[in-house]
């Protein structure tokens, strides 16, 4: 199975790539990356990849511009080294929130980034929980956008009086899918955003009094939305409140916001490296490495991935996916 398969790690989250490598039993191919004095990125693949199917594991996480350029440069190096096929495994896809023109004279940056990745020479993209599903249509190559939420939230299925909460109307479909898996009702937070980065909670749609609430989202950025939602739920009589999000960007005042006493626990995936400075005791990290390894195996073999994905909705347990404090 592993003949002519190559794993390469970018510098954004090498711990995740190492876990995937261990799950597959395939060593990471050595690569040198560095920054020149003027900030330019350099990459050198240190072993032959001629005729290989290469999987580049690299999140375009903060600093997004640097990590995006590194991905493009590594892919270009692989193409020029005669790699047979290149799959970009991008656990966190940066710029995904700029997916439309909200005002005149704005860019659609998610489309621009998709074009850059294609033009660099990527043949397939694997990612988790794109901010909006339609970004898949910005590519003219296959995109596998996998849902991590069932893996993150499945261990919580034993909690009684459970309600799944979407922090905004846009996340309602995500909440409904998870609520179906956990056989739980949903509630919605109606909010408005007066300016970029600022959120005002307006109303809670649904009964949360006396309920244990899981607030789910694709991203925790500054944590302001989640903290506001938790406070609003507490005001309305909710019991324990747990945040569950795939991507822990944790920018700005995130540590302060997530320290909000209304929040009991924060569950995230390891799609983005979390530095020690950003960690809190209440943050639990669930690894997607085994899931990613299984996906890579299916892609390499040309096998359907539906069985793997359905299995994660039905059979994931704490034993299969270890929670760990970073």
Position 317 in a domain: no
Write down the pLDDT at residue 324: 42
The total number of structural domains that make up the chain: 2
The answer to whether position 170 is within a domain reads yes
Q: Tell me, yes or no, whether 10 and 113 share the same domain.
A: yes
Count CB-CB contacts under 10 A for residue 6.
Answer: 23
164, 282: one domain: yes
What is the block-wise mean pLDDT of the chain (326 residues), using blocks of 10 residues?
A: 80 98 97 96 97 97 97 98 97 96 94 98 97 95 94 86 91 89 91 61 86 96 92 95 97 96 97 96 96 95 75 47 39
Residues 20 and 137 in one domain: yes
Where residue 81 sits, what CATH number does that domain have? 3.40.50.2020
The answer to whether 150 and 312 are in contact (CB under 8 A) is yes
88 and 105 co-located in one domain: yes
Runs of H (alpha helix) within the chain: 14-24, 64-80, 109-120, 149-153, 172-182, 224-235, 254-258, 289-301, 306-315
What 265-269 contacts at long range (C-beta under 8 Å, 24+ apart), as own/partner pairs, is 266/220, 266/242, 267/152, 267/153, 267/156, 267/242, 267/243, 267/323, 268/152, 268/220, 268/244, 269/91, 269/128, 269/148, 269/151, 269/152
Cβ neighbors of 18 (< 8 A, separation 6 or more) are: 9, 28
- 316 falls within a domain: no
Assess whether 34 and 137 both reside in one domain: yes
Query: Final residue of a domain: which of 114, 146, 178?
Result: 146
- As annotated, the active-site residues are 191
**Does residue 325 form part of some domain?**
no
Q: What is the pLDDT of residue 321?
A: 35
Residue 302 domain flag: no
Pair 135, 53 in one domain: yes
Does residue 209 sit in the same domain as residue 275?
Answer: yes
> Is residue 311 included in any domain, yes or no?
no
pLDDT of residue 198: 58
Say whether both 47 and 113 belong to one domain: yes
Question: Is 236:209 a contact under the CB 8 Å cutoff?
Answer: yes
Asked whether residue 135 falls in the same domain as residue 157, the answer is no
70 and 198 belong to one structural domain: no
The pLDDT of residue 314 is 61
Residue 263 Cα to chain centre, angstroms: 21
- Residue 138 and residue 186 in one domain: no
- pTM value is 0.90
* Domain region containing 40: 5-146
Q: What's the confidence (pLDDT) of residue 235? A: 93
For residue 307, being part of any structural domain is answered with no
- For residue 315, being part of any structural domain is answered with no
pLDDT value of residue 195? 62
Q: Are residues 189 and 175 in the same domain?
A: yes
Rounded CA-CA distance 303/319 in Å is 26
**First-to-last CA distance in the chain?**
32
Give pairs for 133-136: CB < 8 Å, separation 24+.
Answer: 134/99, 135/93, 135/96, 135/99, 135/110
């Amino acid at each position: 199975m592993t003949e002519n398969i190559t794993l390469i790690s970018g510098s954004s989250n090498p711990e995740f790539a190492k876990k995937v490598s261990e799950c597959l039993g395939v060593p990471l191919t050595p690569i040198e990356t560095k920054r020149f004095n003027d900030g330019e990125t350099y990459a050198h693949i240190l072993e032959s990849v001629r005729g290989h199917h290469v999987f580049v594991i690299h999140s375009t996480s903060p600093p997004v511009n640097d990590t995006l350029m590194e991905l493009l440069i590594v892919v270009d190096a692989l193409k020029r080294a005669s790699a047979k096929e290149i799959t970009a495994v991008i656990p966190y896809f940066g710029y995904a929130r700029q997916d439309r023109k909200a005002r005149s004279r704005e860019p659609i940056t998610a489309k621009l980034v998709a074009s850059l990745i294609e033009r660099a020479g990527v043949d397939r993209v694997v990612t988790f929980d794109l901010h909006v599903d339609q970004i898949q249509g910005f590519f003219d190559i296959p995109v596998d956008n996998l849902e991590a939420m069932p893996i993150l939230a499945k261990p919580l299925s034993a909690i009684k009086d459970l309600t799944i909460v979407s922090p905004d109307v846009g996340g309602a479909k995500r909440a409904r899918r998870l609520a179906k898996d956990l056989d739980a009702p949903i509630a919605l937070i109606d909010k408005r955003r007066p300016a970029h980065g600022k959120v005002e909670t307006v109303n809670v749609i649904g009964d949360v009094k006396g309920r244990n609430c899981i607030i789910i989202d694709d991203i925790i950025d500054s944590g302001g939305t989640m903290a506001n939602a938790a406070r609003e739920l507490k005001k309305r009589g909710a019991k324990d409140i747990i945040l569950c999000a795939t991507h822990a960007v944790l920018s700005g005042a995130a540590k302060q916001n997530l320290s909000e006493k209304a929040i009991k626990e924060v569950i995230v995936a390891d799609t983005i490296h979390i530095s020690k400075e950003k960690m809190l005791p209440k943050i639990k990290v669930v690894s997607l490495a085994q899931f990613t390894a299984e996906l890579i195996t299916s892609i390499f073999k040309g096998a359907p991935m539906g069985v793997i994905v359905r299995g994660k909705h039905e059979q994931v347990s704490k034993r299969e996916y270890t929670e760990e404090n970073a």
